Amino acid sequence: MSEIFPELPYVKYEGNETKNLLSFKYYNPKEKIKGQSMEEILRFSVAYWHSFCNNGSDPFGAGTLTKPWDGIEDPLKHAQKKAEGAFEFMDKLGVNYFCFHDRDIAPAGKSLKESNHNLDTIKEVVKKLMEEKKIKLLWGTANLFEHPRYANGAATSNNSEVFAYAAAQVKKALEVTNYLEGKNYVFWGGREGYETLLNTNMSLEQDNLARFFSMAVDHAEKIGFNGQFLIEPKPMEPTKHQYDFDIANVLSFLRKYDLDDYFKVNIEANHATLAGHTFQHELRLARINNSLGSIDINQGDPQLGWDTDQFPSNIYMTTLAMYEILNNGGISPGGLNFDAKVRRSSIEPIDIMYGHILGMDTYARGLKIANELIKDRALENFIKERYKSYDKGLGLRIKDGKEDFDSLEKYVLDQYTENKKDSGRQEMLELILNQYIFETR
Ligand code: XLS
Ligand code: CA
Ligand code: CA
């Protein structure tokens, strides 16, 4: 088969002395870190929608990015050529995973039947390409936000027929994900929220969302899908207020409806910042609750208050993200999915390649730095010391549940001294972090 992107090279690791911008300077897939190769730890994935479907259009103007399959009128031939281009791109980039929405790989038809037929046709093309290029499916999902029928929500629509349609669509997407041996299945509730409470029965909508998730769990069992279910929080966009606002919100929802055994979270960096958190905050919260499933790697723009989905270039963010992931014992069966797109003026396919190289190197470097930080206990020793009052005496008795308000009041009256203050040393710790970022080899 002739190449679809003849101008794109195979990207290789060349080390940090090279001047070749189309090579990896830090991402060395086979290099071992704590006994595992970088590719096994990072599990990079390309997002089908941003890299192969996005044409650069925005609310103010038309598409700017052209693709070799533009202009193919037959929708299935178009989808087939797009799939071939996608797998050639991913092979050249050297990633092992990809993610898709049902409607990214195969076009929606005029009816559910026709859409399902399109998916069934293209899933065969994709399966063959996966085998040929040795690329696996990190996760699949259903697009329950684009079609006008979902304007009032999918599982949280006021209309029960729309709920039914969404269920039928997820059933099929789950079956295709299973067929392609997807490691996870993601729910991102683009329209699952509200625009105004003046027209909203919040309690029914949330109960229905939980019913919908339970049905998915039951169906997975029915068809033998063993992948991990993930919920991807986002505070707003496209709705004013989405129900999966952030990690804390999702965890309380899952616990209320007894779904916490079946779901973990897929955390996107730009969604964390939209919710007013750092990416690390969301990762930490998920990690300490044993819920960290997978991550969508990108970054927002500090001056723009919306979801810009840029390729990650911030070494502080990637270092601290990898710090959480290593402390989590890794992220498998999840991975690091590039939910990132090039700017509207970056119009050539090679720009998409630069974007991924930028992100992969920034994460690979972050991984190495985080590993050193952990190995040297550079932060842990300080934290341990900072909380030492809970290791013995009064603190230990509090932890063991042996104190109450009466005994604590007595303790303060008899023994408390005001002069035991200590410094939080934030600046010193930032100095240490910088030292590791600057000096890690
Ligand atoms: C949109 C979301 C979406 C999910 C998958 O903001 O990030 O792309 O990752 O539906
Ligand atoms: Ca995402
Ligand atoms: Ca996003």
Q: Give the type of residue at 332.
A: S
pLDDT at 421: 82
| pLDDT number for residue 29 | 98
**Can the peptide bond before residue 148 be classed as cis, meaning omega within 30 degrees of 0?**
no
Measured from the alpha carbon of residue 296, the closest ligand is 2
Contact call for residues 283 and 310 (beta carbons, < 8 A): no
Q: Which of 50, 102, 104, 339 is catalytic?
A: 104
Closest Cα to atom 4 of ligand 1: 188
From the CB of 246, is ligand 1 less than 6 Å away? no
- Taking residues 137-161, report their average pLDDT: 98
Structure tokens at 362: 């920034």
pLDDT at 409: 98
Closest-CA residue, ligand 1 atom 2, reads 188
With bands split at pLDDT 50, 70 and 90, how would you rate the model's confidence at 420? confident
pTM of the complete model beyond 0.85: yes
Beta carbon of 339 within 6 Å of any ligand 1 atom: yes
Whole-number pLDDT of residue 198: 98
> For ligand 1, is residue 188 a contact (CB within 6 Å)?
yes
Task: State the average pLDDT over residues 386-394.
Answer: 97
How is residue 52 annotated by DSSP? I
Please confirm, yes or no, whether 147 is among the known catalytic residues: no
Q: What average pLDDT is seen over the chain?
A: 97
Q: Active-site residue among 101, 271, 277, 281?
A: 101
Q: Ligand 1 mean position to 188 CA, how many Å?
A: 6
Question: Does the CB atom of residue 175 touch ligand 1 within 6 A?
Answer: no
Cβ atoms within 10 Å, residue 232: 23
Distance 274 CA to ligand 3 centre (A): 9
Name 288's Cβ contacts closer than 8 Å, sequence gap at least 6. Answer: none
Residue nearest to atom 3 of ligand 1 (CA): 188
| Ligand 1 atom closest to the CA of 141, numbered from 1 | 10
- H-run or E-run covering 12: none
Residue 238 CA to ligand 1 center (angstroms) comes to: 11
Shortest-distance Cα residue to atom 5 of ligand 1: 188
Q: Would you call 104 a catalytic residue per the annotation?
A: yes
Structure confidence by residue, pLDDT tens digits, 181-194: 999 999 999 999 99
